[in-house]
Amino acid sequence: MRLSILDHGHRGRTRLFLTLTSKVSRVASPDIVKLLLYRPDFLTRPLLDLTAPAMRGESYWTAAEREFLAMSTARVHQCPFCLVTHAEMIRVAGHGEIDPDRPADARPELLAVQGFLEAVSRDAELDVAPLRDLPPNAVAEALNVNLVWNVVNRLANAFGFELLDGQLKSGTRALHRAGYRFPGFLLGADHGDLRASVFDQPAHTSVELRKAVATGDDVEEPWREYATLVRDASYRITDADVRRLTAAGRSEDEIFEVTVAAAVGAALHSFDAGRAASGT
Quick: pLDDT tens for 238-255. Answer: 999 999 999 999 999 999
Q: Which residues contact 165 (CB under 8 A, 6 or more apart)?
A: 27
Task: Give the amino acid at 98.
Answer: I
- Whether residues 223 and 148 fall in one domain: no
Q: Is the pLDDT of residue 55 over 90?
A: yes
- Whether residues 45 and 165 fall in one domain: yes
- Whether residues 33 and 128 fall in one domain: yes
- Whether residues 136 and 28 fall in one domain: yes
The predicted structure's pLDDT at residue 24: 85
Q: Is the pLDDT of residue 187 over 90?
A: no
Task: Give the amino acid at 221.
Answer: E
The predicted structure's pLDDT at residue 189: 81
Is residue 278 in a domain? Answer: no
pLDDT band with cut points at 50, 70 and 90 for residue 62: very high
Is residue 71 in a domain? Answer: yes
Is residue 169 in a domain? Answer: yes
For 21, 48, 129, 151, 164, the CA distances from 144, given in Å and listed in that order, are 29, 12, 20, 11, 29
For 40, 87, 90, 199, the CA distances from 56, given in Å and listed in that order, are 21, 16, 12, 27
Is residue 274 in a domain? Answer: no
Is residue 275 in a domain? Answer: no
Q: Is the pLDDT of residue 103 over 90?
A: no
Q: What is the domain-level CATH number for residue 148?
A: 1.20.1290.10
Count CB-CB contacts under 10 A for residue 71: 24
For 33, 37, 137, the CA distances from 186, given in Å and listed in that order, are 11, 7, 32
What ranges in the chain are assigned the alpha helix state H?
A: 5-8, 12-25, 31-36, 44-56, 63-76, 80-93, 108-121, 136-159, 167-178, 194-199, 207-215, 224-232, 239-247, 252-278
DSSP letter assigned to residue 185: G
- Whether residues 103 and 199 fall in one domain: no
Residue 189 CA to residue 39 CA, distance in Å, equals 10
Establish how many alpha carbons lie within 13 A of residue 239's alpha carbon, considering only the half-sphere containing its beta carbon.
3
Q: Is the pLDDT of residue 157 over 90?
A: yes
The predicted structure's pLDDT at residue 82: 96
The predicted structure's pLDDT at residue 171: 87
Count CB-CB contacts under 10 A for residue 136: 12
**End residue of a domain, out of 155, 190, 225:** 190
- Whether residues 186 and 226 fall in one domain: no
Q: Is the pLDDT of residue 226 over 90?
A: yes
Give the pTM. Answer: 0.95
Q: Which residues contact 84 (CB under 8 A, 6 or more apart)?
A: 163, 168
Is residue 98 in a domain? Answer: yes
Q: Look at the chain and report how many structural domains it folds into.
A: 2
Q: Is the pLDDT of residue 8 over 90?
A: yes
Domain that holds residue 100: 5-190
**End residue of a domain, out of 150, 169, 190:** 190
The predicted structure's pLDDT at residue 13: 92
Average pLDDT of span 157-166: 94
Q: Is the pLDDT of residue 227 over 90?
A: yes
- Whether residues 26 and 102 fall in one domain: yes
- Whether residues 102 and 20 fall in one domain: yes
Residue 21 CA to residue 27 CA, distance in Å, equals 8
- Whether residues 147 and 264 fall in one domain: no
- Whether residues 247 and 185 fall in one domain: no
The predicted structure's pLDDT at residue 128: 96
Is residue 30 in a domain? Answer: yes
Average pLDDT of span 199-219: 96
The predicted structure's pLDDT at residue 121: 98
Winning range, highest mean pLDDT, from 67-71, 132-136, 176-180? 67-71
- Whether residues 102 and 136 fall in one domain: yes
Establish how many alpha carbons lie within 13 A of residue 81's alpha carbon, considering only the half-sphere containing its beta carbon.
23
Q: Is the pLDDT of residue 203 over 90?
A: yes
Cα 259 to the chain's mean position, in Å? 12
The predicted structure's pLDDT at residue 134: 96
Cα 120 to the chain's mean position, in Å? 15
Average pLDDT of span 121-142: 96
**End residue of a domain, out of 152, 171, 190:** 190
- Whether residues 238 and 99 fall in one domain: no
Contact 39, 172 (CB under 8 A): no
Is residue 277 in a domain? Answer: no
Contact 266, 232 (CB under 8 A): yes
Average pLDDT of span 192-218: 95
